[in-house]
Chain A
Amino acid sequence: MSARSLAVTMGVSRRSAVKIIKNPVMALAPLSVPLFMFAAFAGAMTAVGKTPGFNYYNYTAFIFVFVLYQAMVFVAIFTGIEMAGDFGQGFGDRMMLAAPQRLSILGGYLLFTLGRGLLSIAIVWGIALLTGMPVRGDALEIVGLIVLALMLGIATTLWAAGIALRARSITAAALIFMSSFVVLFLTPDFVPRHLLTGWLKTAASINPLTPAVEAGRNFLAHKPAHVALAFGLMAGLVAVFTLWAIRGMKTAEQGPKTPRARGPRARREAKAAAAGGHEAGAGRARGPAARRARARARARG
């Protein structure tokens, strides 16, 4: 990475950081839903942890892993929405003009997600420990849990960035939010997988996030299992969504697409326009299709 690209990455990341420092309420927004869920489930459903077959040492610790991942996913969702807003308002285009390597812009958003994610992880851990959550895992296992959460955050940011760069509009926010939110909820979030019933059990079994949730809980309980599978799947998700985001950046570089003209008249107009309308007697083609074709030709040129 060149010094200029590094400066762009740091600049994008710093800009996002300054925005939330100036508006601390915005900084806490991604944490509100996970913390409400943590309070609601750890407060109301503790009795479920003592039912037959639950087999986990503490219900608060059980729900904590899901809340930790949810906090990270929400940070990534908010970054994706910010990116969609930046590209929707044209700020992204200005950033692309300044960046020799456009992927350094993406790097800036990722760096910001990691920083904000670490802060969220620290807050969620702090609250959990203050409320007396017992931790059985050793230091290495806790690091493993945090690394899994960060990998999930990176994968979600790349997924959200791919959507934001393709849509280049704040309207992408709903798609970013719903897709990430739904997938996270299709894991064994409130009870172990073997106690799920109906379609959710099937969905959780094929969800690539399930091993990460289970491995995280195993780390916390000092019974590491499914570790390689969880890290492998997370690395796979990061790799796939990196390609998705890179393709999204290429789409963003090409700019908005003009709709292709349809119908025989439109084709005649487009052909005349593409020829430049300079042949003898051709005249300048008129009509909406011709205008669109000229715009395409200009974009290509």
Chain B
Amino acid sequence: MIPSIIFPLFMLAILACAGAQATKVPGFPTKSYITFVIGSTLIQGAVNGTTVAGQLLAGDLETGFVNRILLTPVRQWVLLFAQLAGVAMVGLIGSIVFIGVGLIFGVHVKAGAGGVLALIGVTLLVVIAFGAIGLLGAALTGSAAQVQALFALFLGLLFMSSMLMPRNLITQDWFKTIATYNPLSYLVEANRSLLISGWDAQALALGCGFAILFFVVAMTGAVFAMRRRMERI
């Protein structure tokens, strides 16, 4: 609970109060920094899907439990999707908590009630995508500790995205370049578009597109990695 819900909420509380000055930057898209930053809080919670899914599978691999299951007629992809179902549930609860807390503290969703549902949907998609990356990490390494390192990597990448400031207002060119090539920027911006600008098809397509791409690549890799494990049993 601490990394997936409490820690992102703490960061949201800090950034909402400390970042209010950023709204005075000319061209800033909203007067409410909490509305701006909650989109990245949702992604921060979703990144934790890597750890939840990966550590579950890595733990089962370390104890040999998965090896026993793989000897039964259960298919690898069924096993992996079952792990993802639990991660999706944790992600769903987390995103409802974040949005609920945000609405209490003044977050305004420009896309309306449908936008709130879309926000939950996009976040859920991102949770599943990061969960799949965690499963891939676990299937490749079989180590819970190494899956934990993936979380640190993605958290670092999240800070190097447009999480704190819109890309067009970043004045340091080197950071603007990193944020532009960082796919996590587009995940954050998909959520942010629903909060600030309403229904923005391009932002949503880019965010959902990257999430689906991550999911497909990671799940395919994870299934192959599990097959190779089975061949070695």
Contact = CB atoms under 8 A, between A and B. Distances in A.
A39 interface: yes
Contacts of B10: 182, 185
Interface in B1-48: 2, 10, 13-22, 24-25
B116 to A, nearest CB: 24
Interface string A43-61: 1111110111110000000
A254 interface: no
B162 interface: yes
Contact of B17 (A42, A48, A198): A198
Nearest to B176: A43
Contacts of A50: 25
B156 interface: yes
Interface stretch (B96-104, B167-175, B199-207): B167-175
A195 interface: yes
Interface in B154-181: 155-156, 159-160, 162-165, 169-172, 174-175, 178-179
Interface in A18-65: 32-33, 36-37, 39-48, 50-54
A196 B18 contact: yes
A36 B170 CA distance: 16
Contact of B2 (A37, A51, A174): A174
A170 interface: no
Contacts of A201: 17
Given A44-B164, A191-B18, A201-B17, A37 B159 contact: yes
Contact of A200 (B2, B14, B24, B178): B14
A45 B152 contact: no
B21 A41 contact: no
Contact of B14 (A41, A178, A185): A185
A189 interface: yes
Interface residues of B, number: 31
Interface in A170-195: 174, 178, 182, 185-186, 188-191, 195
Of A33, A197, A201, chain B has the most CB atoms within 10 Å of the CB of A197
Interface in A53-89: 53-54
Contact of A43 (B16, B19, B169, B172): B172
Contacts of A174: 2
Contacts of A40: 159-160, 163-164
Contacts, number: 85
Contacts of B162: 44
A53 B21 CA distance: 9
Contact of A190 (B2, B18, B25, B160): B18
A189 B165 CA distance: 17
Contacts of A39: 159-160, 175
Interface in A88-111: none
Contacts of A45: 22, 164-165
Nearest to A60: B172
A51 B159 contact: no
B21 A54 contact: yes
A44 B179 contact: yes
Contacts of B13: 199-200
Contacts of A189: 14, 18
A52 B164 CA distance: 19
Contacts of A43: 160, 170, 172, 174-175, 178
Given A44-B179, A198-B17, 16 more contacts: A40-B163, A42-B172, A43-B170, A44-B170, A46-B171, A47-B25, A47-B169, A51-B22, A51-B24, A185-B10, A188-B18, A190-B18, A195-B20, A195-B21, A199-B17, A200-B18
Interface of A: 32-33, 36-37, 39-48, 50-54, 174, 178, 182, 185-186, 188-191, 195-201
16 contacts: A36-B159, A39-B175, A40-B160, A43-B175, A44-B163, A44-B170, A45-B164, A45-B165, A46-B170, A47-B170, A48-B21, A185-B10, A191-B19, A195-B21, A196-B20, A198-B16
